[in-house]
Structure 1
Amino acid sequence: MEIRPILSSMLRNKTAPLLIAAQVALTLAIVCNALYIIKDRLATAARPSGADEANVSEIRFYPHRQIQDVRGMQLRDMEAIRAVPGVVSAAWSNQIPLGRSGWNVGPVVISTEQQNSNVQSAAQYFSPDSLIDTFGLTLVEGRDFAPGDFMEIDPEKDRVQGRMAIITRAMAQALWPDEASVLGKSMYLGGPNNEPTEVIGVVERMQTPWASVGDGAEYSLILPVRYLDPFTRYAVRTEPGRHEQIMADVEKTLLAQSNDRVLLGRRTIAEARDLRYAGERLMAGLLIAVTVFLLLITASGIVGMASLWVNQRRKQIGVRRAIGARKGDILRYFLVENLMITTAGIAAGIALAVGLNNLLVAELDLPRLPVAYLGLTMAGMWVLGLLAVLGPAWRAAAVPPAIATRTA
């Protein structure tokens, strides 16, 4: 088939082809970036926290009057929790992964001369118990804290500062990127003017309470500190399959321990995940809806324009059929014509997609658009264009010559 007659026909009637090409270009630019943002948001929401999310809960209490013996209260509570059947491990903790609030420290530097750091902020977990056992973390290097490692901090007199720490693999790689092992290394929490803290262990991962986008989501450390705060948060890990029942027993046990505090609530880390990533899932859902809507609008536009072209060229189609053109020739004519228009729109759409992605990278700190997404969207637009024009083209090819050339 000659391309020149098709091109000549389109140049004589520019408006409709230009509108379709513009629609294809705009749809490609938006859909391509939307698909990548959807994938990025869903991947962010699916990041593992490092904890046994389904079997670990936090339970929080707040005193409604002064607690005279905070340390004794914590010890009695822990003894009572561990006595509940089905409890695997428990710990007093100042925060939990994905909890959305908690303590942080920064910058974290590795020498007294260093002012800036790759770790400007790190989540600071502390507990007088094993958070590795209670959260279900994976220790990949070094050891957990021993009984003699823990120190006691009174918030009215002291500030949190551990002599040793367990850090995440991500934090270790950020601070010492060229080191195979970081055991025994010293770091300075909050800047070079503070006392050094020795790294004695590395866990595979543990997300921060805020779980920010990027590598900083796993910049976390654990300090062996008993913090004498009357506000209490206990992390409890239970046997799988009976978590809700066991936590209900833990709640009853703690409420029976004392009447000078109120229960603020309890939740699993999995429930904390749902709250933390609700925004990412909502954004992904909205973008999916926008993408589907745009594709439907584009397909409808192509169908409408193709139907209009068929009606305007019925006599031309009839003449071609009368002089020997087959149905396949007519069908192929419209498909090639649509392919040329769609290709022109795709070429413009690629430029728009790259420009839009550059804007998103600059304004929203999103990652660069991979070339694979451009190729996938291009193929999708070609298929969409051909499928949308197939119906009108088939109807045009089926018009009998006698009817198509009738003038009245």
Structure 2
Amino acid sequence: MHMAPILSALRRHRLATLLIALEIALACAVLCNACFLIANRLGQMHIQSGVDEASLAQIKLDCDDCNEVDLNARVLSALGRIPGVQSVSVINAVPFGEHAGTAGIHLDAANRKPGGVVDFYVGGPGSFKALGLDLVAGDMPKADDYRALNDFAPADAPVWITRALAAHLWPGEDPLGHEFWMDRYHYRVAGMVAHLARPGGGEGGPATREWSVFVPGVPGKHLGML
């Protein structure tokens, strides 16, 4: 192919040359964006949720003007009698589901040392077992660890965080016993789990996908059947 005539024609028709260049640039941008989306979706397919996905089922009930305590008790009792059901509980969210408790945390009571935006999983008795979480530090939640909720979470409670969140908040340190705050809410780390993906997957990028906190809570007015 002789390039000289082509280049000469392009120099004589500058507007056409500009439009062709813009068209090529736009096509490259669309192609790059498509490749990015595909790579991002493929990456999300390999995220470790931290829960026993093959054995986990989710039920969500919407009921206006219901007695949450009575509804929780009746539904949990009915589900627990189904053959093959090993554990049933109430929880506010599950990995890759709807957001329920996203909030920023701080490492001091004065809220001057930001720790990032995390997702709070608030679950009733049995939810830790039902999710199939892999405990790597600390003890399992005990009966007295489950506290009443103030709005969407207990105001003061022991919590279980992921290994990824612990490495972010206190690099190279044992997270057990460390504390953090969410406005006036106070939490102390009582255990650590290997993985627990956030409901939305982590909008802050791949590094934030497991910035999750499990908070034991008592089912009731602010924690209904899910």
Q: 1:224-246 deviations in whole A, cap 9, x for unaligned?
A: 21032287324xxxxxxxxxxxx
One of 147, 151, 163 as aligned partner of 2:143: 147
Task: Map 1:286-365 to 2 at 5 A.
Answer: none
Kindly name which structure, 1 or 2, has the bigger radius of gyration based on alpha carbons: 1
Change (3 A) 1:169 1:58: same
Match of 1:112 in 2: 109
Match of 1:315 in 2: none
Match of 2:178 in 1: 185
One of 199, 208, 212 as aligned partner of 1:209: 199
The Cα shift of 1:182 comes to 0.6
Distance of 1:28 and 1:154 partners within structure 2: 51
The AA in structure 2 aligned to 1:34 is A
Answering whether residue 37 of structure 2 is matched by residue 47 of structure 1, we say: no
One of 98, 106, 116 as aligned partner of 1:100: 98
One of 172, 179, 182 as aligned partner of 2:166: 172
The Cα shift of 1:132 comes to 2.8
Q: 1:268-306 deviations in whole A, cap 9, x for unaligned?
A: xxxxxxxxxxxxxxxxxxxxxxxxxxxxxxxxxxxxxxx
The Cα shift of 1:175 comes to 1.4
**Residue 38 of structure 1: SS of its match in structure 2?**
helix
Q: 1:63-119 deviations in whole A, cap 9, x for unaligned?
A: 45552xx5455345434322211112211112222222312332x122235514131
The AA in structure 2 aligned to 1:163 is A
Instruction: Normalising by structure 2, report the TM-score.
Output: 0.77
Answering whether residue 122 of structure 2 is matched by residue 126 of structure 1, we say: yes
Q: 1:334-372 deviations in whole A, cap 9, x for unaligned?
A: xxxxxxxxxxxxxxxxxxxxxxxxxxxxxxxxxxxxxxx
Task: Map 1:3-14 to 2 at 5 A.
Answer: 6=2, 8=4, 10-11=6-7, 13-14=9-10
Where does the alignment leave 5 or more consecutive residues of structure 2 unmatched? none
The Cα shift of 1:198 comes to 1.3
Whichever structure has more helix as a proportion of its residues is 1
Change (3 A) 1:11 1:204: same
The Cα shift of 1:134 comes to 1.0
Distance of 2:195 and 2:24 partners within structure 1: 44
**Residue 225 of structure 2: SS of its match in structure 1?**
strand
Task: Map 1:50-69 to 2 at 5 A.
Answer: 50-63=50-63, 65-67=65-67
Distance of 1:32 and 1:197 partners within structure 2: 43
Q: Paired residues, what number?
A: 218
Could you tell me whether the CA contact under 8 Å between 2:91 and 2:223 is conserved in 1?
no
Distance of 1:98 and 1:24 partners within structure 2: 37
Could you tell me whether the CA contact under 8 Å between 1:117 and 1:175 is conserved in 2?
no
Could you tell me whether the CA contact under 8 Å between 1:167 and 1:222 is conserved in 2?
yes
Match of 2:38 in 1: 38
**Residue 39 of structure 2: SS of its match in structure 1?**
helix
The Cα shift of 1:145 comes to 0.2
Could you tell me whether the CA contact under 8 Å between 1:62 and 1:230 is conserved in 2?
no
**Residue 118 of structure 1: SS of its match in structure 2?**
strand
Task: Map 1:233-252 to 2 at 5 A.
Answer: 233-234=225-226
Answering whether residue 79 of structure 2 is matched by residue 81 of structure 1, we say: yes
Where does the alignment leave 5 or more consecutive residues of structure 1 unmatched? 235-408
One of 211, 218, 225 as aligned partner of 2:217: 225
Change (3 A) 1:31 1:181: same
Q: 1:133-171 deviations in whole A, cap 9, x for unaligned?
A: 21122222222201232223476xx96224200012222
Could you tell me whether the CA contact under 8 Å between 1:170 and 1:219 is conserved in 2?
yes
The Cα shift of 1:223 comes to 1.3
The AA in structure 1 aligned to 2:180 is M
Q: 1:31-80 deviations in whole A, cap 9, x for unaligned?
A: 3443234312442365332222343222123445552xx54553454343
